[in-house]
Each structure stands twice: as C-alpha cells, then as structure tokens.
C-alpha cells in the first residue's frame, strides 16, 4: 500500500517534534513516524540553557514550560577527592545581555507539550522505518509493516543509530570509553536544594545533581568503562551500587539523592559521539533528505547541550524549509525539488559549524573533567575551573533565530 506525504519525519523525539511544530507554525503539514507505541521518555530530564529557551520561544511553547520548572541561578563545581568547592558561578536571566536562563526540563513534559500543539494525526505510532528508495523527485519510505510512503522531503530524527544518517553516508557514532547512569528522584514534601547545578569531579568520574522543580531532582553519573556493560544494563541495582561506591567526598544531602532513587528510575547508556571531522566533511543533507538531532550530531553530555542543539535544529530546519516552500502554488515538480534541495543545503550550512563546535568542546570538557591523573587533577581543580565554566556558558549564547527570516 502506498500513501503520499509531503514531509516525512522519522522519529518523535525532541528534534522530530520541534521540526514538525516549527513547520506547523509556518503553515506546513508533516507526518512524524515513531517506531514505539507512544512518546519515548527515556532519559528523564535534560538541561535547557538560554539557547534552548530561544528555540522553545520560537515554536511558541516556552511560556507554558517555564512555570513547570524552576529557574536555576548558578552552578558550583566540587572536587570529590578533597570535598572542596573548586568554582562557583552565578547568573541572572533578567540581565538580558549578560544573563543566562537555565532550567532542567523533564523530557516527558517537553515531548507532551510539543505533541499537544501538533494537529491530530501528525504523529503515527508503531511505524518503524526500514529503508529509502529513490523514485524521481520523491523518496519512497518503506516501513516494517510493508507500507510505503511517497515523500517530497525526508528528515531523519531517528537518534544515535539513525538509519537515515547511514543512508546519507555517515558512519556509526564512536564509543568514547565512558558510560552514563542517569536517575530521577521525587520528594513528596520538597527536596530543599537551592536552585543551582551541582557538579562533582574526581577519580575518573563525574556526577551532577539538578533540581527540576521543588519536588523533583535529576542526576547523572559518568564513568570510564569498557563496552561490556550488558550485565549492568539489565540490573539497576548494580548501577546504583556502582554509583554509591564511587561518589567520593560529597555532602550527605547530595549522597541521599542517589540513595533515595528507586531502581525503576535508573538507566545506563554508553556515551557515543560523531567525530567532528565527520560533521565537517559528511552529508548533513543530500537531495531532499537530511538529519537533525542525535541522528546528526550525537555528542557527549559534558556541556548539557544535546537536547538544546536538537531544539535549535528544529527551528532552523523549519525556517529553511518554510522559505523554500513559500508560495508554491503553480510550482512544477522540478522547481519544487530544487527549492527543497537548496533549503536543506541552507540548513546544513547554518548548522555544520555549530555542531562541530559543540561536539569538539563537549569532548574536550569531558576529557578534562573526568581525568584521573595527578597533573590533570591538579589543573582541573586549581587552574581550569573558571575556564571550563566559561566554555560551558559560552555555548549557551547562540541564537537560532525565529521561524521567519523577515
């Protein structure tokens, strides 16, 4: 069975739904294919910096999300070897030129907010993408149930293991020799933490505790590892045991966050990234196909910019396609195809260096922060804290712009 859809987006994650909503705001309908039977909320929460809020405002959902998540007004880094604070930085979003807006947004809340703003029928669940076939100016999108969609534009937002990225010629993302354990804990009567990001480093591990609101806290723990984490991936109890055994010197109330976390709220994932040179030389777009989000630029989480960059992608991609398809009445198939191709090329050009910078900086910051040598430990704790904090905040000043270029 064959059906026609002008724009097909593979994956109902952050990038896919943001792109779909951006297109909807531009008056363009799309179809989002999601292999799961519902929205995927793995990961619990993610940090949203100033650049992410600019993107959320661009698609019109910043206002409803802000009251649901407390604003964070600073970050503090602490050595787990000495137990002493190594750096502290405060910021205020009311200072429009110098300030930063920073919150920790629950993934489920964001995805549901995006999905609820889309027209009914935009997301098609239990629709697993299989392959792409060329057909003149169209792409034939084959699904696992045997059905075929004819698409004028195909956008891969299908995550780290993206089949669309493979079609474009990208290699599989590289394992960086580290893994992340993440968790979320709920305090019925409030957690009592200040609204700031708490980061801890030492002995080859890195952890963080971030309030989402007055009652919920998101945490992460990254560590050096081999690829052989299969046994631990199936055992949240072993994950928790590993974390508690490697936290080092941290305050009792912070340790209690990890201890209180229920096993159902703990996950582990290996950390992978796309080498920066692949971003420079690879095909972000080809003809009427492109990638966005983790399918485009999987990165280590050391800047907290993965989800933010996916939001940026969605706004820029929707804008470029909106401009390409503006006033398409009476446009022939060949002209429309060329305009789509040029629109996707504009998107790729705008996003290439941004993705390169994010991936490179995140990898560098993570390498330094998670080092376990005497010299690097000294530099990280005594010399580099302010530099690392500046690098983290520097990435948040990016502005993806509005949905309309005018």
- Where residue 370 falls among pLDDT bands split at 50, 70, 90? low
| Ordered strands of the 266-273 beta sheet | 85-90, 74-79, 197-202, 205-211, 216-224, 174-186, 266-273
Report, as an integer, the average pLDDT of 288-298: 98
- Where residue 393 falls among pLDDT bands split at 50, 70, 90? confident
Report, as an integer, the average pLDDT of 361-377: 69
Give me the residue label for tokens 């390409």: 324
Among the residue ranges 31-45, 166-180, 357-371, the one predicted with the least confidence is 357-371
- Spatial distance between the Cα atoms of 169 and 297, rounded to a whole number of angstroms: 14
CA distances from 128 to 124, 143, 146, 214, 284 (A): 10, 5, 10, 38, 22
pLDDT of residue 374: 56
Distance of CA 122 to the CA centre of its chain: 22
Give me the residue label for tokens 């922060």: 369
Report, as an integer, the average pLDDT of 201-223: 93
The model's pTM is 0.93
pLDDT of residue 369: 60
194 CB burial (10 A radius; 0-12, 13-18, 19+) = exposed
Among the residue ranges 98-107, 112-121, 391-400, the one predicted with the least confidence is 391-400
pLDDT of residue 97: 41
Q: How many Cα atoms occupy the beta-carbon half-sphere of 246 within 13 Å?
A: 21
The pLDDT tens digits for 5-41 are 899 999 999 999 999 999 999 999 999 999 999 998 7
Nearest of 306, 395, 287 to residue 348 by alpha carbon: 287
The pLDDT tens digits for 116-157 are 999 999 999 999 999 999 999 999 999 999 999 999 999 999
Structure letter (DSSP) for residue 272:
E
pLDDT of residue 366: 77
**Proportion of the chain above pLDDT 70, given as a percent:** 89
- Where residue 165 falls among pLDDT bands split at 50, 70, 90? very high
The pLDDT tens digits for 316-357 are 999 999 999 987 666 788 999 999 999 999 999 999 999 999
- Residue 305 predicted with pLDDT over 80: yes
Residue 276 CB contacts under 8 Å (≥ 6 apart), including other chains: 356, 359, 360, 363
Report, as an integer, the average pLDDT of 379-385: 53
DSSP helix/strand/coil, 73 = coil
- Angle at which helix 107-116 crosses helix 14-25, to 10 degrees, equals 30
Among the residue ranges 90-99, 129-138, 292-301, 354-363, the one predicted with the least confidence is 90-99
pLDDT of residue 184: 96
Give me the residue label for tokens 């989800």: 307
- Where residue 307 falls among pLDDT bands split at 50, 70, 90? very high
Nearest of 190, 257, 259, 246 to residue 219 by alpha carbon: 257
- Pairing mode, strands 289-291 and 285-286: antiparallel
Four-CA torsion 317, 318, 320, 325, nearest 10 degrees: 140
DSSP helix/strand/coil, 392 = helix
Q: What is the CA radius of gyration of the chain?
A: 21
Nearest of 125, 143, 123 to residue 133 by alpha carbon: 143
- Residue 65 predicted with pLDDT over 90: yes
The pLDDT tens digits for 103-116 are 999 999 999 999 99
- Spatial distance between the Cα atoms of 283 and 304, rounded to a whole number of angstroms: 25
- Spatial distance between the Cα atoms of 395 and 304, rounded to a whole number of angstroms: 10
pLDDT of residue 372: 60
pLDDT of residue 95: 41
The pLDDT tens digits for 244-268 are 999 999 999 999 999 999 999 999 9
């Amino acid at each position: 069975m064959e059906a026609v859809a002008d724009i097909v987006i593979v994956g109902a994650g952050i990038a896919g739904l943001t792109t779909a909503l951006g297109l909807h705001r531009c008056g363009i309908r799309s179809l989002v294919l999601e292999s799961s039977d519902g929205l995927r909320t793995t990961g619990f929460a993610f940090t949203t910096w100033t650049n992410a809020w600019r993107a959320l405002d661009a698609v019109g959902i910043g206002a409803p999300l802000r009251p649901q998540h407390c604003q964070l007004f600073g970050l503090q880094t602490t050595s787990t070897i000495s137990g002493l604070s190594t750096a502290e930085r405060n910021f205020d979003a009311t200072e429009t030129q110098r300030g930063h807006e920073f919150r920790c947004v629950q993934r489920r809340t964001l995805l549901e907010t995006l999905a609820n703003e889309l027209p009914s029928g935009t997301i098609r669940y239990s629709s697993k993408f299989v392959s792409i076939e060329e057909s003149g100016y169209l792409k034939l999108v084959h699904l696992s149930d045997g059905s075929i969609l004819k698409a004028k534009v195909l956008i891969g937002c299908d995550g780290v293991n993206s089949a669309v990225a493979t079609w474009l010629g990208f290699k599989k993302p590289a394992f960086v020799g580290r893994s992340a354990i993440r968790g979320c804990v709920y305090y019925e009567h409030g957690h009592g933490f200040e609204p700031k990001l708490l980061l801890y480093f030492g002995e080859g591990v890195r952890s963080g505790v971030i309030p989402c609101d007055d009652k919920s806290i998101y945490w992460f723990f990254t560590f050096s590892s081999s690829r052989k984490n299969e046994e631990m991936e199936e055992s949240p109890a072993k994950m928790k045991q590993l974390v508690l055994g490697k936290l080092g010197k941290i305050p009792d109330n912070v340790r209690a966050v990890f201890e209180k976390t229920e096993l159902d709220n703990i996950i582990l994932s290996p950390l992978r990234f796309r080498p920066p040179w692949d971003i420079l030389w690879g095909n972000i777009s080809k003809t009427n196909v492109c990638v966005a989000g983790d399918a485009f630029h999987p990165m280590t989480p050391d800047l907290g910019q993965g989800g933010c960059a996916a939001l940026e992608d969605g706004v820029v991609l929707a804008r470029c396609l909106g401009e390409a398809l503006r006033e398409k009445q009476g446009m022939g198939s060949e002209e429309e195809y060329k305009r789509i191709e040029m629109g996707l090329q504009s998107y790729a050009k705008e996003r290439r260096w941004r993705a390169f910078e994010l991936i490179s900086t995140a990898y560098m910051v993570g390498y330094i922060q998670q080092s376990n040598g005497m010299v690097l430990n000294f530099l990280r704790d005594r010399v580099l804290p302010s530099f690392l904090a500046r690098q983290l905040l520097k990435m948040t000043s990016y502005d993806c712009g509005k949905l309309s270029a005018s």
